Chains A and B, each alone.
Chain A
Amino acid sequence: MNRFLLPLGLFVLLAVVLATGIRNSPEKGLIASPLLGRPAPQFSLPSLTDPARQVSSAQLKGHWYLFNVWGTWCRECRAEHEMLLAVSHSGVVPLIGLDWKDSDEDARTWLTQLGNPYQAVAIDRNGRTAIDWGVYGAPETFLVNPQGIVVYKHIGALTTDAWTHQILPRVTASASRS
């Protein structure tokens, strides 16, 4: 009996390690951002709606915002747009857009035709700012708190589920505390 105890114990240990690994593994293709819990990258870029103005991370300090990376070339962004409009209507948290490697003209047309959910849209023509945020596909959405810390990242089109279970609780919890 005793001689089977050690192998059995090792087997159980291995099974537990692998099971927790599988259970906690993120959905295939989703990569945890090293930015979570860290300060959001600094940026200062021309505004899409008013090229004379700049949209910068410094202006955004002090309140919550959703940083949404999109482009008119991105089909998922089209699918996501209704959701962004709904978020914008809720008035809970402002949306800041990053128009990633896009044509300004196309982007302006897109916003006029589909509605503009953004408080401001920054133009990232060469993609440098998107790289600083660790973006590897559009759309991606980051939630940044008033201290300028990235607290949540959503990869792919923003879902009602992510909004009600991840974003809303974080923003409202902080609002009720202050």
Chain B
Amino acid sequence: MKTNPRLSHRVYELLLIAYPSEFRSEYGSLMSQLFRDRYRHEATKHKLAILFYWFAVVNDLVVTAFKEHAQKRKGDGFMHNLRRDLIGLSACVAISVAAFVLLSYGRSHEVAPILLFGRILDAVATAGILGNIIVFLLVKVTKWNPLRIALWTFLIVNLVPAILLALVGPKIDPQFRLAATLISYLVSFLFWFSLHYAWRSADTNAVAKS
């Protein structure tokens, strides 16, 4: 079996990205050197030794990268944050569902005060469910600023339907009111973003006090 030590070494160095950055910066170069030393040793053996070595290395990498990430999350208080964020997500979804139920009730019973805010409730419910799930997932899988995630997510989930409705609405509904639709999505954006702003501010204060 033909082998290319330099290419294998490069590939292994690329694969090291699977580890948390702190672990990589501390041990990445040592692991890379270890891989190279062992590779040279394996290359002197039988033809399939390199293939077996690669199999063992990838297996080791998958298992230990997962372990290092799990340990890092444990150290970061990931489970505590997860529980707190799940409570926040549940509260936001509950608000969205409540808005939807209120709107449905207002429509079925023709309750004028509810129908007056019908478009706003509609926007709050639809943008709320989708937006909050996206925010929750992005906060968990990325290291971006949570408030910035909330800002851009709610901007997009409110702006996209508002633009689509502005384009399509007048064609399918003669009584379509553009200004009311735009205002409802603006209110929805302000409502959800303010809620996240308040949530993150309270969280920062709690951390500072502790």
Q: Do A and B come from one complex?
A: no
A-binding residues in B (CB < 8 A): none
B-binding residues in A (CB < 8 A): none
